Amino acid sequence: MKSIRRVLILNVTALLVVALGSVAALVYRITQDALSEKQRSAGELVDLQFAEQRDEALLTQARALAGEAQSQFDPVKFRQYFEAAPFGAYALTFGANSHITVPLWLAERIPGPLSFRLNGLLATDIKLNESEASTHGYVQVDSDWGNIWRSKALAGPNLPLDVSQFQTEEKFQWFFDEIEINEGVKARRVRLKAPLTRTRVLVQAQEPQPEKASLGVAAGLRPDPFRPNRYIGPPWYYDPRGQGPGPGSGMSKRPPFGIGSRPPSPSPPPPPLSNFFGGNYQPTLYIQVAWDSTTSDPKLLELESRRKLQHAELDADHERSLRHVEKRLLWIGLGTFAIVVVGGWLLVGVGLSPLKRLSDAVSQVSAKDFKLPLEPRELPREVSPVALRFQQTLQDLQAAFAREKRSSADISHELRTPLAALTTTLEVALRKPRSNEEYRQTIVDSRQIARQMSRLVERMLMLAWLDAGADVIRPCVVEIDELVDGCAAIGKPLAEAQGLKFQVNAEHPLTVNTDPDKVREVVMNLLHNAIEYNRPGGEVEITARSSPGGIVLVVRDTGIGIAAEFQDKIFERFYRGDPSRNATGVHAGLGLAIVKEYVDRLGGRLSIESQLGSGSSFRVEIPGGTLTGING
Amino acid sequence: MRLLLVEDHKPLVRALRQGLEEEGFAVDLAADGEEADHKATGTNYDVIILDLMLPKKDGLTLLQAWRSAGMQTHIIILTAKGSLEDKVKGLDLGADDYLTKPFELDELLARLRALIRRRHQTKDPVLRIHDLTIDTSSRNVKRGSRSIHMTPREYALLEFLAFHHGKVVTRTMIWEHLYDEHDESTSNVVDVYIRYLRNKIDKGFETALILTRWGEGYMLRGEDDVEAVPEPAPATH
């Protein structure tokens, strides 16, 4: 057997699977896109960070080189002259060119801008330790006085440098760019402009000390043993306290180059430079450092590996997030599925409960008790019409049953009384020997009772016949006036025997197309009724006339009449105006029921006008149309 | 015994009346409810036979009214209404018995006799007074060993006296219970029948059972009255 609940649940489940599947696919897709986007931007960020850190490292190296470069002005040439000064005058006599040393000597002897300028112009050189400076790339240091230092890696042409790029006012400035060095070697380059802030006397190149070299301090830098506190450098950096630059204190004098830190503004600020020989000349270094992708700089390698690591982490993160989303979606889907299936089962149960109540109630209905144990108005709108209709049907059925029961009780009652009379009559007659006259009387009485009973049975059969639909209407042209006269001929003696006045008013001629047998039955029944229920000395009148639609028959009596509340009941079977009046047994409440049935079959109308105590008037309208043979 | 037959079906009334009268009952008739009410309240009947579906006044309505008015008369309902509910309702409203149509006359008579016995507080259908035996069911009367034939009316009178044996029964009482409404009231009809009875019962016996109480009426000799008169010699039973 099909279950509505199961069907509903299966359909809802199927629908749910489709809906959940679509939603989950959509959500998964969207999440995947978002995660990919996130991964991509995170990757970009990592790349950016990498580029920034690489540039930072480049810059750091450039700065370190700048620091180193400015520490390695080489005034050695000059010092040689200085050491030979006492012989300078002497030398004047020997060499035409030896007089050149004189201003140099003077220049060194007189510290100040002029001395510095001369030093810079004539006696300085840029020297960098090759192994220190350019292990991991290409380095080129330019100076604005024309000295250039290039690392060995730069075998090819010079790295191009456009000095005009740099702002003259800025002391420190740098640019990053991509450059093609040679034969398609692409490299990242930084160009750094840095001011030359001091020079230092280099005594001699010593063995490099590894720990200092890593700091980018010029190797073999030693204080001058003869003039330990001698300062050589731009006068605006001169310390009047006479603290000469040393390996330790020199650090503090240098502008603190380093990653992420800007050189502090010196106090007092340097005067603006005009030109190389102007009052406030500021010598400048241009350091270029370039790294190609093959550079094995540890810093770069570290950055590179960190970048790769981060990318790998991002990929892993992405995968993990996706797995997580998948798992979540799966659980959400399963949870929703379970909830909807269980909840749906319950909800459908709740929804179907009125139906169950109805079916329970219906199953309790029995033929004994036609009550539906349920109040239909309490049911939901969808079900209550069914219940209401069913209840109505049950009530109709109950009424029909009650009618049937009463009818059979009536029939048995109507038959029992004459039967009792018959048996009693016969028994009494048989109790002892009697005279012929007495026997005869008994037989006469018995015959009378039997006739009454047979008439009763006949009427009941007639009604049953009508009920069964076995009766057939046979219409023909009927002369109603003659028919009424015929009935009156039978009724008149009966009426007069009861002391009643009998009157006939029939229109002549009066014809109608109908079934004469039925009409005769109707008229006779009405006449019998009028005679039976009349008062002594009353009258019975039958009238027949034509009407627009056919004919009208009226049978009037002066009997007891029928109260208004019973007027629609008198056509029911076994109904009598006087409930106990069964003395004659003939009419037994069936006459008017038969009249009504016949009039209905003939397509006519039966009505009654009555006043209690003064008589009744039964009116039959029979249509005169073309009444064809109708069954039942 | 005097009955009231309330029934509106004329052929049945005719047959039943004849049957009952031939059994010695005095039968009054009522064809509708009002007549029945009138007669039942005016006369002290032994039993009322009541139909239920009556013109003018319904049988059950009558029954209820009579019982609530304190009427003690035994009532048997005789009706075509045969359903259980109808029977229960009729008995519950105060009827003593219920019989449905069609019925056997013998059954009705037996039930009537039972009701009459109940009215006189006796269960034995055979009445024994001294050496007189009256079988109320077969209506056989014996004095000693001698069987006595009686007409219905003589029997009815003897039975009435026997039910009241030892007590004085007035002529009015006899009249009321043995004669129906249509009988001509002649002053000596009771005396005539008493004489008939004496001829049949006491004649040839030493002990007279039917005694005359001058100025009051008659009585059938009770058990206390034995020593007052000499016992008859063969008191066989």
Read off the pLDDT band of A95 (50, 70, 90): low
- Domains of chain A, by residue range, sit at 47-303, 385-452+457-466, 471-623
User: Which of B76, B104, B105, B139 should one mutate to test binding to chain A, selecting the residue with the greatest count of A CBs within 10 A?
Assistant: B105
Geometric angle at alpha carbon A288, from A282 and A292, rounded to 5°: 170
Q: Is the peptide bond preceding residue B102 cis, with omega within 30 degrees of 0?
A: yes
- Minimum CA–CA partner of B108 in chain A: A424
Q: What average pLDDT score do residues A553-559 get?
A: 89
Angstroms from A477 CA to nearest CA on chain B? 43
Nearest to A424 among B12, B33, B83 (CB): B12
Angstroms from A362 CA to nearest CA on chain B? 28
Looking at the structure, do residues B17 and B113 belong to the same domain, yes or no? Answer: yes
- Write the CATH number for B142: 1.10.10.10
Read off the pLDDT band of B112 (50, 70, 90): very high
CA distance B13 to B196: 31
* B202 contacts B210 by C-beta, under 8 angstroms: yes
**What is the predicted pLDDT for the residue at A471?**
76
CA distance B142 to A166: 172
Distance set, CA A500 to CA A1, A553, A557, A588 (Å): 73, 20, 10, 21
Determine, for residues B8 and A449 on separate chains, whether the beta-carbon distance falls below 8 Å. Answer: no
Chain A, window 434-463: residues with a beta carbon less than 8 angstroms from a chain B beta carbon: 445, 448-449
Query: Radius of gyration over alpha carbons of chain B, in Å?
Result: 19
Q: What average pLDDT score do residues A14-19 get?
A: 90
**What is the predicted pLDDT for the residue at B214?**
83
Angstroms from B98 CA to nearest CA on chain A? 15
- On the question of pLDDT at A107 being above 80, the answer is no
Whether A420 contacts chain B with CB within 8 A: yes
CA distance A536 to A233: 167
What are the pLDDT digits (tens) for A442-473?
Answer: 999 999 889 888 888 888 888 888 877 777 88
Residues 6+ positions from B86 with CB-CB distance below 8 Å: B52, B79
Read off the pLDDT band of B40 (50, 70, 90): very high
Bridge partners of residue B133, in order along the sequence: B128, B142
Q: What average pLDDT score do residues A401-430 get?
A: 84
Determine, for residues B8 and A445 on separate chains, whether the beta-carbon distance falls below 8 Å. Answer: no
Looking at the structure, do residues B85 and B135 belong to the same domain, yes or no? Answer: no
- Write the CATH number for B115: 3.40.50.2300
User: Residue A601, Cβ neighbours under 10 Å: how many?
Assistant: 18
**What is the predicted pLDDT for the residue at B39?**
92
What are the pLDDT digits (tens) for B64-90?
Answer: 999 999 999 999 999 888 888 889 999
* A624 contacts A550 by C-beta, under 8 angstroms: yes
- Provide, rounded to the nearest whole percent, the portion of chain A with pLDDT above 90: 9
Residues of chain A neighbouring B81 (CB-CB closer than 8 A): 409, 413
**What is the predicted pLDDT for the residue at A416?**
87
Bridge partners of residue B6, in order along the sequence: B30, B50
CA distance A529 to A531: 5
**What is the predicted pLDDT for the residue at A212?**
34
**Which ipTM value was assigned to this complex?**
0.82
* B38 contacts B28 by C-beta, under 8 angstroms: no
Angstroms from B65 CA to nearest CA on chain A? 18
Q: What average pLDDT score do residues A159-175 get?
A: 77
Looking at the structure, do residues B134 and B70 belong to the same domain, yes or no? Answer: no
**What is the predicted pLDDT for the residue at A272?**
37
Looking at B119, B138, B166, the residue that finishes a domain is: B119
3-state secondary structure of B99: strand
Beta strands in A157-247 (DSSP E): 173-180, 186-195
CA distance A510 to A545: 7
Beta strands in A273-419 (DSSP E): 284-292
**What is the predicted pLDDT for the residue at A264?**
39
CA distance A179 to A166: 18
Q: What average pLDDT score do residues A252-272 get?
A: 37
Angstroms from B168 CA to nearest CA on chain A? 35
- On the question of pLDDT at A29 being above 80, the answer is yes
Is residue B169 included in any domain, yes or no?
yes
Determine, for residues B9 and A583 on separate chains, whether the beta-carbon distance falls below 8 Å. Answer: yes
Residues 6+ positions from B53 with CB-CB distance below 8 Å: A413, A579, A580, A582, B8, B59, B79, B80, B81
Q: Report chain B's mean pLDDT, rounded to a whole number.
A: 85
Determine, for residues B9 and A578 on separate chains, whether the beta-carbon distance falls below 8 Å. Answer: no
Classify residue A459 by burial, with Cβ atoms within 10 Å: 0-12, 13-18, 19+.
Answer: buried
- On the question of pLDDT at A350 being above 50, the answer is yes
Looking at the structure, do residues B98 and B13 belong to the same domain, yes or no? Answer: yes
For residue A230, give both structure tokens.
Answer: 């001698």
Angstroms from B30 CA to nearest CA on chain A? 13
Q: At what angle do helices B152-163 and B171-178 cross, to 10 degrees?
A: 130
For residue A456, give both structure tokens.
Answer: 């009763």
HEC per residue, B28-84: EEECCHHHHHHHHHHCCCCEEEECCCCCCCCHHHHHHHHHHCCCCCEEEEEECCCCH
Looking at the structure, do residues B34 and B101 belong to the same domain, yes or no? Answer: yes
CA distance A599 to A552: 12
- On the question of pLDDT at A193 being above 90, the answer is no
Determine, for residues A583 and B10 on separate chains, whether the beta-carbon distance falls below 8 Å. Answer: yes
Looking at the structure, do residues B17 and B110 belong to the same domain, yes or no? Answer: yes
Is residue B54 included in any domain, yes or no?
yes
- On the question of pLDDT at B208 being above 80, the answer is yes
- Provide, rounded to the nearest whole percent, the portion of chain A with pLDDT above 70: 69
Q: What average pLDDT score do residues A286-297 get?
A: 76
**What is the predicted pLDDT for the residue at A576?**
58
What are the pLDDT digits (tens) for A582-607?
Answer: 444 344 567 788 888 889 888 888 88
Read off the pLDDT band of B27 (50, 70, 90): very high
- Minimum CA–CA partner of B53 in chain A: A580
CA distance A594 to B48: 38
Looking at the structure, do residues B138 and B113 belong to the same domain, yes or no? Answer: no
**What is the predicted pLDDT for the residue at B173?**
86
Looking at the structure, do residues B151 and B106 belong to the same domain, yes or no? Answer: no
Q: What is the dihedral of CA A248, A250, A251, A255, to 10 degrees?
A: 170
Residues of chain A neighbouring B107 (CB-CB closer than 8 A): none
**What is the predicted pLDDT for the residue at B67?**
94
Chain A, window 560-599: residues with a beta carbon less than 8 angstroms from a chain B beta carbon: 578-583, 585
**What is the predicted pLDDT for the residue at A278?**
44
Q: What average pLDDT score do residues B126-130 get?
A: 86
Chain centroid, CA B84 distance in Å? 29
Nearest to A419 among B32, B101, B106 (CB): B101
Q: Which of A56-65, A262-271, A301-310, B99-108 has the lowest mean pLDDT?
A: A262-271
CA distance A111 to A199: 12
Angstroms from B205 CA to nearest CA on chain A? 32
Q: At what angle do helices A298-363 and A4-71 cross, to 10 degrees?
A: 170
Q: Is the peptide bond preceding residue A418 cis, with omega within 30 degrees of 0?
A: no
* A153 contacts A138 by C-beta, under 8 angstroms: yes
CA distance A599 to A244: 150
Higher-confidence position of A262 and B204: B204
**What is the predicted pLDDT for the residue at B99?**
94
**What is the predicted pLDDT for the residue at A109?**
55
Classify residue A236 by burial, with Cβ atoms within 10 Å: 0-12, 13-18, 19+.
Answer: middle
- On the question of pLDDT at A320 being above 60, the answer is yes
**What is the predicted pLDDT for the residue at A424?**
92
Residues of chain B neighbouring A424 (CB-CB closer than 8 A): 12, 15-16, 19, 103, 105
Angstroms from B212 CA to nearest CA on chain A? 35
* B64 contacts B33 by C-beta, under 8 angstroms: no
Q: Report chain A's mean pLDDT, rounded to a whole number.
A: 74
CA distance A466 to A601: 9
Domain that holds residue B182: 126-225
Higher-confidence position of A209 and A289: A289
* A60 contacts A258 by C-beta, under 8 angstroms: yes
For residue A402, give both structure tokens.
Answer: 């009650």
Highest mean pLDDT among A104-113, A236-245, A462-471, B148-157: B148-157
Residues 6+ positions from A69 with CB-CB distance below 8 Å: A126, A128, A141, A149, A285, A287
**What is the predicted pLDDT for the residue at B16?**
92
- On the question of pLDDT at A353 being above 80, the answer is yes
Q: What average pLDDT score do residues B127-153 get?
A: 87
Is residue B39 included in any domain, yes or no?
yes
Geometric angle at alpha carbon A509, from A505 and A511, rounded to 5°: 105
Looking at the structure, do residues B197 and B112 belong to the same domain, yes or no? Answer: no
User: Which of B27, B101, B138 should one mutate to test binding to chain A, selecting the residue with the greatest count of A CBs within 10 A?
Assistant: B101
- On the question of pLDDT at A377 being above 70, the answer is yes
Q: Which of A194-198, A224-228, A243-247 has the lowest mean pLDDT?
A: A243-247
Looking at the structure, do residues B136 and B189 belong to the same domain, yes or no? Answer: yes
The number of domains in chain B is: 2
What are the pLDDT digits (tens) for A476-535?
Answer: 888 888 889 999 898 888 888 888 899 898 888 888 888 888 899 899 888 888 888 888
3-state secondary structure of A37: helix
Looking at the structure, do residues B145 and B110 belong to the same domain, yes or no? Answer: no
Determine, for residues A428 and B15 on separate chains, whether the beta-carbon distance falls below 8 Å. Answer: yes
Determine, for residues A582 and B81 on separate chains, whether the beta-carbon distance falls below 8 Å. Answer: no
**What is the predicted pLDDT for the residue at A235?**
44
Chain centroid, CA A390 distance in Å? 40
Query: What's domain A471-623's superfamily in CATH?
Result: Histidine kinase-like ATPase, C-terminal domain (3.30.565.10)
Looking at B119, B151, B166, the residue that finishes a domain is: B119
User: Which of A424, A434, A437, A449 should one mutate to test binding to chain B, selecting the residue with the greatest count of B CBs within 10 A?
Assistant: A424
**What is the predicted pLDDT for the residue at A127?**
65
Looking at the structure, do residues B102 and B150 belong to the same domain, yes or no? Answer: no
Higher-confidence position of A575 and A271: A575
User: Count of alpha carbons within 13 Å of A112, Cβ hemisphere only?
Assistant: 6
CA distance A428 to A84: 192
Determine, for residues A425 and B15 on separate chains, whether the beta-carbon distance falls below 8 Å. Answer: yes
Q: What average pLDDT score do residues A231-241 get?
A: 44
**What is the predicted pLDDT for the residue at B37?**
93
- On the question of pLDDT at A74 being above 70, the answer is no
Looking at B62, B93, B119, the residue that finishes a domain is: B119
3-state secondary structure of A183: coil
User: Residue B135, Cβ neighbours under 10 Å: how many?
Assistant: 14
**What is the predicted pLDDT for the residue at A462?**
83
Q: What average pLDDT score do residues A348-355 get?
A: 86
Positive or negative, the CA dihedral A580, A582, A587, A591 is: positive
Determine, for residues B53 and A422 on separate chains, whether the beta-carbon distance falls below 8 Å. Answer: no
- Minimum CA–CA partner of B58 in chain A: A580
Q: What average pLDDT score do residues A128-146 get?
A: 68
Is residue B112 included in any domain, yes or no?
yes
What are the pLDDT digits (tens) for B164-206?
Answer: 888 888 888 888 888 887 777 666 788 888 888 888 888 888 8
Q: Is the peptide bond preceding residue A548 cis, with omega within 30 degrees of 0?
A: no
- What is the strand order of the sheet B140-143 is part of? B126-129, B132-135, B140-143, B146-148
Angstroms from B14 CA to nearest CA on chain A? 8
User: Which of A575, A580, A587 should one mutate to test binding to chain B, selecting the residue with the greatest count of B CBs within 10 A?
Assistant: A580
Determine, for residues A416 and B101 on separate chains, whether the beta-carbon distance falls below 8 Å. Answer: yes
- On the question of pLDDT at A271 being above 70, the answer is no
